[in-house]
Amino acid sequence: MLKNIAWRLLGAIPVLLLVMFGVFVLVNLAPGDAATLLLPEDATPEQVASFRAAWGLDQPLLVQFWRFLVRIVHLDLGTSLRYQDSVGHLIAMRLPATLELALVSLALAVAVGVPVGTYAALKKGKLGDGVVSIFAVAGVSAPSFWTGILLVLLFSATLNLLPSGSRLPFGVSVTPTTGFYLVDTLIHGDFDSFRIAVRHIVLPAVTLAFSMVGIIARITRSAIVDVGQEEFVYTAVAKGLSRGQIVRRHLLPNAAIPISTIVGLELGSLISGTIIVEVIFSWPGVGTLLYQSVTVRDTQLTIGVVLVYTSMFIVLNVLIDLFYYLVDPRMRSSYAKARA
């Protein structure tokens, strides 16, 4: 298994190179120029030329990309043109906000999707199953920007129940420990700030979780329906176990592997899919950072963020394979046969 993981990680290197090169080319082919976008409108041609020379923007594209790769080998993502700061430092400062939003969204999606999918499986072919299927398709089909704007208009602009954006309001601060505000406020016993942080994360988290609920519900339903046709389930029914006992002891535990797999994959999609939601809700995460870097042609920052996103997605997929290997005896036996 470890050998397989090592090969997977090595195979990810050309993928990362292709992704970085593709992003580099797209950013440089887009209309506009970092020098003209970042410098004042009254900047002289000499100032523009000096800026381009200082940052190496006057070099051929292949030379610029090669220099970036050399820095990557030395674990240096470069310096942001816009912020005049290390790309690695900027990402490290913003990453906790993105991870916190993604994890809260995933928790909401699992908390709703698994029970709803279980209910649909138990009501297979009946009205309840059909209703769940309709809502699941609607949730998956709804674009996140549409859902987010709708929630802001309803709960913020109309009902004035929840804030429309940012992690905390102006004037409220949290002592940083982990970078996760919900955790940091509890660590320091700041329950007032905790309640404020919860109110601010509700709308963006629900927006992200909305489409995931449908996916998780459908996978849960399919997994439980498949497990429900196994002989040990019929044996449990014959023994007189209640429906609740059968679900808790037999159906859900045996359906956990496909459910866990889709949850892991959705986490990877969530981390990279927060970009639009972060922009809508002014969430100061990596997605907002990527959006801001693209608008000013900050190539170093753009490639750095995409590289981090891609690396995290690859690592998550490897971890899912490892989880599969640990919990599924069939996977272990197949690897044992392959080695034999």
Lookup: tokens for 92: 């490290």
CATH superfamily membership of 89-161+199-295: MetI-like (1.10.3720.10)
Q: Which residues pair with 224 in a beta bridge?
A: none
So what's the pLDDT on residue 189?
A: 92
- Is 286 within 8 Å of 293 (Cβ atoms)? no
Q: How far apart are CA 40 and CA 205, in angstroms?
A: 38
Lookup: tokens for 55: 């940052």
User: Model's pTM, two decimal places?
Assistant: 0.86
So what's the pLDDT on residue 6?
A: 77
> Residue 132 contacts by C-beta under 8 Å, 6 or more apart in sequence?
116, 117, 119, 120, 123, 217, 221
Q: How far apart are CA 226 and CA 215, in angstroms?
A: 17
Other Cβ atoms less than 10 A from the Cβ of 289: the count is 28
So what's the pLDDT on residue 336?
A: 56
Q: Which residues pair with 79 in a beta bridge?
A: 86
pLDDT mean values, one per 10 residues, the chain (340 residues):
74 86 84 79 84 85 88 87 91 94 93 93 90 89 90 93 89 89 93 94 94 91 90 86 86 85 81 86 93 87 90 83 70 57
Q: How long is the chain? A: 340
Among residues 322, 332, 309, which one has the least CA distance to residue 98? 309
So what's the pLDDT on residue 179?
A: 92
List own/partner pairs for 16-24 with CB under 8 A and 24 or more apart.
16/307, 16/310, 16/311, 16/314, 17/69, 19/306, 19/307, 19/310, 20/65, 20/68, 20/69, 20/303, 20/306, 20/307, 21/65, 23/302, 23/303, 23/306, 24/61, 24/64, 24/65, 24/68, 24/299, 24/303
So what's the pLDDT on residue 165?
A: 82
So what's the pLDDT on residue 279?
A: 92
So what's the pLDDT on residue 248?
A: 87
Place of tokens 């009501």: 123
Can you tell me whether residue 86 is helix, strand or coil? Answer: strand
Q: How far apart are CA 94 and CA 89, in angstroms?
A: 9
* Residue type present at position 234: Y
DSSP one-letter code for 282: T
Q: Going along 26-70, which residue ranges are E strands?
A: none
Q: Where are the domains of the chain?
A: 11-73, 89-161+199-295
